[in-house]
Amino acid sequence: MTSSTLLKERLPTLLRVEAANYWEIEDHIEQLAEQPAEVQQEILRQVEAIWPVSQALCFIFLDQVPKALQCLHHSQLSAWVNATLDVYEKDGLQQAHRFMAEVEANFLCQIRGEAGISLVEASGRLLPYLRGLAGFELELAAATEVYTDGKTIFLPPEITLFREKSLNFLTYKLLASCQWALLAGGTFDLRLDPEQPPLSELSEPVAEMLKHHRQSWPVQPFPANFWNLFPQPELAADLFTLLETRRLLARLRDELPGLMRDSAVVLAQLHRQRPEAAMQRDKNRLLEALSQWLLQGQIKGDWPAAEQERLSRALELLDGESTPPESATPATTLNQTSALYQFLAQLPGEYRPEDYQPLLGGRLRPAAVAASRQQQREEQRQRFIKALGLVLPPTADGQEESPEATTRQAPSPPTSEHAALMPPPPGPPPESPEAEQPGTRQPEYITLGEQEIKLPEELRELAREIRDDLGRIPEHYISAALEQAGGGMATGAGPDAAAEEQAPPAGALVYDEWDYRRAGFRKNWCTLVEKKLPPVRSRFIEQTMAKYQGPWRLLKRQFEMMRLSQRFLRRQRDGDEIDLDAAIEAFSDLRAGQAASDKLFIRLTRDQRDIATFFLVDMSYSTEGWINTAIKETLVLICEALRVLGDRHAIYGFSGMRRSRSELYHIKHLDEDYDQAVQDRISGITPQDYTRMGPPIRHLTRMLSDTDARIRLLIIISDGKPEDYDDYKGDYAIEDTRHALIEAKNAGIHPFCITIDRQAHDYIPHLFGAVNYIFIDQVKRLPLRMPEIYRALTT
């Protein structure tokens, strides 16, 4: 029984189970012991891949794998696990568990190309479609019920309504479009106020009801507050949703006729899937009949003859006596809801909401919409206050760091009364009707007492969004910004510094990380933060230049010679001027009866050195001492050399600890001058923490991709292996770094690595690629080698 010993031997080590706790995995081993050796091998390989991601998931995997193997070939295990890990990283352990438990529906069907399409798969196409439709950045997310909170549209994680994938996608498209229509059609936007214009069209009974309940209106967002006016809000809600669906389907037919024409099959299928109305009881029966009528204009099965009259009356109410659905508004829906409710209320029996399946997805969630809008408003408020605070000059309160200023109870400065956001002058006063129109005018200036400050573009945009939402910019937004004026000093340094340690600060970037064990990315695995390097004013630069005085003269000459700017190309077919020599020769040739050359012109060409180089230097703890000094000297020399040459270059340092805190230190931006500030930052380079190379490489790749240059170079200077405090070690770290470099290359960037180490290691050619690195064992030689390397790379 060699195969059983294989698991017995290796599983405990892999799962870090000690001998005493062997019983924990005994069951698993027994279950899997009968599998042939190659299957066991495969299982062990997958355990290796899952373990570093989630240990809990690893045990779930061991639980599920025997069942999965009944329908999966062991060669499919890896794809299955990969799909599971994707689910895990997106939606957490529970969803991953659910995914694993239903191998058949969630995984196999997709592999067989049958039926289902997952939201993940669909969203690559669906999301841009939806955003184009909406005109703003809607999000998509998976949920068991279909609904929207105004910012995100929640759709089922998978649709298996049809056997054809394209039709299932179409179903997604229809559901998403309907949810968008709810948002665009104003289903959540009404204010339940009978004096407001849309509600003046309300029918008598509804208006009466509103007036009657005026005092006791529940404080809930529309339309929940409306539903709650009825004795049975659930029924009112389902009727309202049904009628809104009818209104919006009409709207979609009008606006997106292609979609609705294509979707006829989907509606028919949805109709087929509904229960027979006659099988339902009481009020549910009629509601079911109405739903089916809406989908297909017919009702499944036999409708009892005795209730025929009742049905036709209800259908009359559904179709609305006066307004065609295209011109209906939410107010019309209120009238109809009320009328239908009254009608259904007369019928005997109960209404059981749990037995009724709403059309085209789930029930409306006004509270979610309200919450997300509130959240958005709050985020806008904070961003606005922060951005405005940065623009405003510091007030007296802001400048002194007195204890009162750090407590947030400091009264708002008196100047706030004189502060107001103004549209560009000469603009109408804010209360004039013209200014009420959202988006017509963007406030461009803020007046603060006597002063007028022009708002930057980003802030203007934000101000416009807030005005669109609230109709104006509330006074307290501005007064709060005044409190923070001068860069938010009023918040004090203490809590800020603490917060920085824990949560990633705003503006942090997330990057995927390559996991070679599963041959896939760990999604959004690392957080990269750009940090400022405290400048150090010292004589380091001068000392370096003095130290390398001799070689520098030579280097400078070499670099000057590379500075090709303009040159004349003689004997061209086409050019700005006549090449006299060539012309005379041609004439002589002609006189001599020979064929003359037609290359008679001089052309001026400018060979621009269109190069952008990013230097990425290792600031890990291991560079402490000589290496750090050598790196700094290298940077000084290369900066001087590139100043001579005029090539654009940028310098960043990197370090960090764990995946949540990968740090990038700005030393010199691409088009920043090599000035005192840059020199101070070079002097200030000090060893920090660990060497996680993937995130900074990916970040610089992204920055370089956005740079317009013919040749884009990424030069990385590091010592030894990539390594971090967590599991970023060994093969994993090497493979991730290698992959990041490959990604850079695929993006049209030339990465080049300079590695400083005592001895050459076997992994280096694999890590960097055979021709893309240089190994330096004598650190003292680095400063002079660097310009040479650069020259070789760019000529």
**Which residues are at the interface with another protein (CB under 8 A)?**
124-129, 131-137, 173, 177, 255-259, 262, 575-578, 583, 586-587, 590, 600, 604, 606, 671, 708
Q: How far is the CB of 129 from another protein (least distance, A)?
A: 4
Q: How far is the CB of 354 from another protein (least distance, A)?
A: 34
Q: Which of 13, 565 has the CB closer to another protein?
A: 565
Q: Which of 177, 187 has the CB closer to another protein?
A: 177
* Residue among 375, 507, 385 at smallest CA distance from 446: 385
The strand pairing partners of 751, in sequence order, are 714
Q: How far is the CB of 197 from another protein (least distance, A)?
A: 25
Main-chain dihedrals φ then ψ at residue 188, nearest 5 degrees: -105, 5
* Residue among 122, 242, 253 at smallest CA distance from 176: 122
Q: Which of 23, 136 has the CB closer to another protein?
A: 136
Q: How far is the CB of 603 from another protein (least distance, A)?
A: 8
Q: How far is the CB of 369 from another protein (least distance, A)?
A: 21
Which is it for strands 611-618 and 451-454: parallel, antiparallel or unpaired?
A: unpaired
- Using alpha carbons, list the distances in angstroms from residue 232 to 207, 228, 342, 548: 18, 8, 11, 87
- The set of residues, in sequence order, having a beta carbon less than 8 Å from that of 775 and lying 6+ positions away, is 755, 757, 760, 764
- Report the SS3 class of residue 652: strand
Q: How far is the CB of 609 from another protein (least distance, A)?
A: 14
Structure-token match 């004997």, residue found: 571
- Using alpha carbons, list the distances in angstroms from residue 30 to 11, 16, 34, 38, 40: 12, 18, 8, 16, 12
Distance, in Å, from the CA atom of 18 to the CA atom of 326, rounded to the nearest integer, reads: 70
What one-character DSSP code corresponds to residue 726? S
Number of Cβ within 10 Å of residue 124's Cβ equals 9
Q: How far is the CB of 165 from another protein (least distance, A)?
A: 13
Q: How far is the CB of 507 from another protein (least distance, A)?
A: 18
Exposed e or buried b for every residue in 350-364, given b needs 16+ CB within 10 A?
ebeeebbebbbbbbb
Which two structure tokens, joined as six digits, stand for 640? Answer: 């001087």
> Position 147: which residue type?
Y
Q: Under a CB-based contact definition with an 8 Å cutoff, are residues 331 and 190 in contact?
A: yes
Q: Which of 139, 530 has the CB closer to another protein?
A: 139
Q: How far is the CB of 492 from another protein (least distance, A)?
A: 36
- The set of residues, in sequence order, having a beta carbon less than 8 Å from that of 75 and lying 6+ positions away, is 42
- Using alpha carbons, list the distances in angstroms from residue 575 to 587, 589, 608, 673: 19, 21, 19, 36
Q: Report the run of H or E that residue 713 belongs to, with start and end.
A: strand 711-719
> Position 159: which residue type?
I
Which two structure tokens, joined as six digits, stand for 177? Answer: 């479009």
Q: How far is the CB of 322 from another protein (least distance, A)?
A: 26
Q: In three state form, how does the secondary structure of 472-493 look? A: CCCHHHHHHHHHHCCCCHHHCH
* Residue among 387, 357, 596, 636 at smallest CA distance from 487: 387
Number of Cβ within 10 Å of residue 19's Cβ equals 6
Q: How far is the CB of 426 from another protein (least distance, A)?
A: 19
Concatenated DSSP letters of 117-137: EEHHHHHHHHHHHHHHHHSS-
Q: Which of 378, 576 has the CB closer to another protein?
A: 576
* Residue among 530, 531, 513 at smallest CA distance from 522: 513
Q: Which of 130, 734 has the CB closer to another protein?
A: 130
> Position 479: which residue type?
S
Distance of CA 429 to the CA centre of its chain: 39
Q: How far is the CB of 650 from another protein (least distance, A)?
A: 13
Q: How far is the CB of 461 from another protein (least distance, A)?
A: 13
What one-character DSSP code corresponds to residue 512? E
* Residue among 573, 576, 533, 490 at smallest CA distance from 685: 533
Q: How far is the CB of 171 from another protein (least distance, A)?
A: 13
Q: Which of 265, 370 has the CB closer to another protein?
A: 265
Q: How far is the CB of 136 from another protein (least distance, A)?
A: 7
Q: Which of 137, 321 has the CB closer to another protein?
A: 137
Q: Which of 127, 278 has the CB closer to another protein?
A: 127
Q: Under a CB-based contact definition with an 8 Å cutoff, are residues 138 and 189 in contact?
A: no
- Using alpha carbons, list the distances in angstroms from residue 719 to 211, 530, 623, 696, 760: 77, 22, 7, 15, 11
Q: Which of 360, 446 has the CB closer to another protein?
A: 360
Q: How far is the CB of 254 from another protein (least distance, A)?
A: 11
Q: How far is the CB of 600 from another protein (least distance, A)?
A: 6
445-448: strand order across its sheet: 419-422, 445-448, 451-454
Q: Which of 182, 229 has the CB closer to another protein?
A: 182
